[in-house]
């Protein structure tokens, strides 16, 4: 059976195989409770009574999570902080004005800021102050925005709607949009590597921030920087040197989505002073949500309208793209998404529950988002 996770449940619920599971699919927790309550008087329904206890526990866990962690407020606060950092990174009106205006237009046009949030949350989960990761969080958003600007170009996906607004090249023209994307990519490296981007107590060139783990504190900051730069290069330079056949382009796009999510998490964990083991666990978490993001994207493209998505819907089918629903069908795609979600959440088991709450909720959000 497909497991259904409540978006706010802070613990995974293991449902042991029980007679009830044979009933129509996997009902939502609320409907399960109703059905279970109905059968409570029959003493021979041991399985159902056990199920009702499990459901009650899940409901309690979900209620506790709601009171403990306000995901919407968390994301709102992080978005405001990231937008402030991005705004400061490209001052308005600097020459060449058209280029900087286009960069700002693309960068500050809204967007959910999922990647920066992942970066900040990964830094915090290993015990680092979020402020240390803010330059990297801004940088991954620049790389992400650059990829959107270039994806939307007439020579690529030829799209005129992004984040609910006209795309960069529609407003500023194609040449400026190409250059704005290029400039965002180089700025992302510059921003992450320059001392001025960091709080006064952090110098990315000197010793790494103190950490309770001797292993982490002994890792030289240059290694740290190299690792971070490696993540970003690895991610953007895939296949840029020669013309790319269409199926290879799809491969790159798919991997770029996953790679940028992975880089966001791993860079945050490195900056926060995570141990090798912590970084590895977070990398696995990120791999699962990277793939999950793509699967959910494919499902949404089939099932939602352009208005709901803030970008053109139904494009995958129109362009005959290889997607998960096409390969697996919708139901199996949804099951695969749930499996990836549980894999991701499993990687967070060894971290402090409270500190891991943002990453847990981000995974749930990526799985259950509607746009």
pLDDT one-digit tens code per residue, 139-153:
999 999 998 999 899
Enter the tokens of residue 228: 């971070």
Enter the tokens of residue 46: 């041991």
The span from the CA of 57 to the CA of 47, in Å, is: 15
- Across residues 221-244, what is the average pLDDT? 54
> For residue 16, what are the contacts with CB-CB under 8 A and spacing of at least 6?
50
pLDDT at 56: 58
User: Of 146-160, 275-289, 339-353, where does mean pLDDT reach its minimum?
Assistant: 146-160
pLDDT at 214: 35
Hey, what long-range contacts does 77-81 have (CB within 8 A, 24 or more apart)? 78/113, 78/116, 78/117, 78/120, 79/112, 79/113, 79/117, 81/134
Residue 107's H or E segment, with its range, is helix 97-107
pLDDT at 253: 62
pLDDT at 356: 98
pLDDT at 307: 77
What is the three-class DSSP state of 177? helix
Hey, what long-range contacts does 161-169 have (CB within 8 A, 24 or more apart)? 161/306, 161/310, 161/311, 161/312, 162/109, 162/310, 162/311, 163/109, 163/110, 163/111, 163/310, 163/311, 164/110, 164/310, 165/109, 165/110, 168/102, 168/105, 168/106
pLDDT at 179: 95
The span from the CA of 46 to the CA of 29, in Å, is: 18
The span from the CA of 222 to the CA of 139, in Å, is: 18
Q: Tell me the CA distances in angstroms from 107 to 183, 225, 279, one per residue in order.
A: 12, 24, 29
- Across residues 73-94, what is the average pLDDT? 95
- Across residues 117-139, what is the average pLDDT? 96
CATH fold of 74-368, please?
Farnesyl Diphosphate Synthase (1.10.600)
pLDDT at 79: 97
pLDDT at 239: 47
Average pLDDT of the chain to the nearest whole number: 77
pLDDT at 242: 55
pLDDT at 91: 87
- Across residues 263-267, what is the average pLDDT? 94
> Between these two residues, 112 and 66, which has the higher pLDDT value?
112
pLDDT class of 132 with cuts at 50, 70, 90:
very high
Number of H helices, E strands in the chain: 17, 2
C-alpha angle 41-47-49 in degrees, rounded to nearest 5: 40
- Across residues 147-162, what is the average pLDDT? 89
């Amino acid at each position: 059976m497909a497991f259904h996770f409540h978006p706010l449940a802070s613990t995974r619920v293991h449902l042991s195989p029980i007679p009830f599971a044979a009933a129509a699919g996997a009902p939502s927790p609320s409907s399960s409770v109703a059905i279970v309550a109905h059968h409570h008087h029959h003493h021979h329904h041991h399985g159902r009574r056990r199920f009702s206890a499990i459901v009650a526990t899940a409901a309690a866990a979900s209620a506790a999570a709601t009171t403990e962690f306000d995901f919407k407020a968390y994301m709102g606060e992080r978005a405001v902080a990231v937008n402030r950092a991005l705004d400061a990174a490209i001052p308005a009106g600097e020459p060449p004005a058209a280029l900087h205006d286009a960069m700002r237009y693309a960068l500050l046009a809204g967007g959910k800021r999922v990647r920066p949030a992942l970066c900040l949350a990964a830094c915090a989960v290993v015990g680092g102050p979020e402020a240390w990761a803010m330059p990297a969080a801004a940088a991954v958003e620049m790389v992400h925005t650059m990829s959107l600007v270039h994806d939307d170009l007439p020579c690529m996906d030829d799209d005129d709607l992004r984040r609910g607004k006209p795309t960069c090249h529609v407003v500023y023209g194609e040449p400026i949009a190409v250059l704005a994307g290029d400039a965002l990519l180089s700025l992302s490296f510059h921003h992450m590597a320059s001392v001025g981007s960091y709080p006064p107590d952090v110098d990315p060139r000197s010793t790494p921030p103190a950490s309770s783990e001797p292993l982490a504190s002994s890792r030289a900051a240059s290694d740290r920087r190299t690792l971070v730069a490696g993540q970003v290069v690895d991610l953007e330079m895939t296949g840029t040197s020669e013309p790319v056949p269409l199926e290879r382009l799809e491969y790159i796009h798919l991997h770029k989505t996953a790679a940028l999510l992975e880089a966001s998490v791993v860079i945050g964990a490195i900056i926060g002073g995570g141990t090798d083991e912590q970084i590895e666990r977070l990398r696995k978490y990120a791999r699962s949500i990277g793939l999950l993001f793509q699967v959910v994207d494919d499902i949404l493209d089939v099932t939602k309208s352009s208005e709901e998505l803030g970008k053109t819907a139904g494009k995958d089918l129109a362009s005959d793209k290889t997607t998960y629903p096409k390969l697996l069908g919708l139901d199996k795609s949804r099951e695969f998404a749930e499996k990836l979600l549980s894999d991701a959440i499993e990687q967070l088991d060894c971290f402090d529950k409270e500190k891991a709450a943002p990453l847990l909720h981000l995974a749930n959000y990526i799985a259950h988002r509607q746009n």
